Amino acid sequence: MKRTILRVALGLAGFLVVALAAVLIYVSTALPNVGPPPDLTVEGTPEQVERGKYLANNVMLCMDCHGKRQWAEFGGPPEEGTLGMGGEVFPREAGFPGHFVAPNITPAALADWTDGEIFRAITTGVSKDGRALFNVMPYQSYAKLDREDIEAVIAYLRTVSPVENKTAPSEFDFPVNFIINTIPQPASFAPRPDPSDQLAYGKYLVTAGACYDCHTNQEKGTFVGEPFAGGMNFPLPDGSVVTSANITPDPTTGIGNWTESQFVTRFKQYADSSYVSPTIAAGDFQTFMPWTMYAGMTETDLKAMFAYLKSLEPVDNEVEIFASSLED
């Protein structure tokens, strides 16, 4: 009897091992499966390029993660000549399940990519060679945008000054190195709402800006906090830590008592011609929020975003925005 039970147990264990191996082989070889890149040629009209420049620099902030920021200045403004060169690191120390490096997206690196391959990468998180990209790039948000806006970004990327900069490959921890292949899904595009529909237009812009991703707490790439209630930590080069703010309309811990004018001014003050980014010493108050880039948004767009954020469910979540170290 004991031998029979042992044989059954061993057989079951063997079956589970084989089944698990089969699943891992399938996930690592057959996925991601979002289909081939579209047969796409972006015209690259001046209007497209201008729209793409606005989105990539002031709304979607492609040039934030894919550039170099000057952390010796408040807000870490982009360093001239580094736009699109890649190299920003999202490390394990910041709670990511691996060591992720933003790649070079200037023409120096994308010259052999088709417009369709760039389009697929932005909207489904699948690279030219079929690899899944980690969703620190919020492609799941970009997948909900208007196709024309994605094409505009591609048109702009083709015009960026090429920068020769070979970035290190990203590293995925187990089991994310397998799970990552299951995340990409086909995009579900939607037309950009007319600005006259302020709430719908504001939601579109908040989606394009991936505000949810930074203002919702995450652990190892998984959202664990209340939407838009803040709480995600961003370690800075000097060891300080910035925590994303609560941007729900809670009157005590969020933006419930903010006026539209206060919200717009908070952004546009960094666009004033007289503004100079203050120098920041180690341990001084700093922010991860790229204010100088968001400052380029139009007042119409900022007002729409504010209207949408004010329509959210308030969440009472007190956040300590800055600490000079994790131990503080």
Q: What is the SS3 string spanning 213-260?
A: HHCECEECCEECCCCCCECCEEECCCCCEEECCCCCCCCCCCCCCCCH
pLDDT tens across the length of the chain (328 residues): 666 666 655 666 565 555 545 554 555 455 588 999 999 999 999 999 999 999 999 999 999 999 999 999 999 999 999 999 999 888 887 778 899 999 999 999 999 999 999 999 999 999 999 999 988 899 999 999 999 999 999 999 999 999 999 999 999 999 988 999 999 999 999 999 999 999 999 999 999 999 999 999 988 778 899 999 999 998 888 889 999 999 999 999 999 999 999 999 999 999 988 899 999 998 899 999 999 999 999 999 999 999 999 999 999 999 999 998 655 4
**Phi/psi at 216 (5° precision):** -130, 130
DSSP 36-70: SPP-------HHHHHHHHHIIIIIS-HHHHTS-B-
Question: pTM value?
Answer: 0.91
Task: Report residue 140 as tokens.
Answer: 């799941």
> Which residue, 22, 106, 110, is CA-closest to 62?
106
What are the domain boundaries of the chain?
A: 1-29, 37-192, 193-328
Q: What is the pLDDT of residues 147-165, one digit of tens each?
A: 999 999 999 999 999 999 9
Helix, coil or strand: residue 98: strand
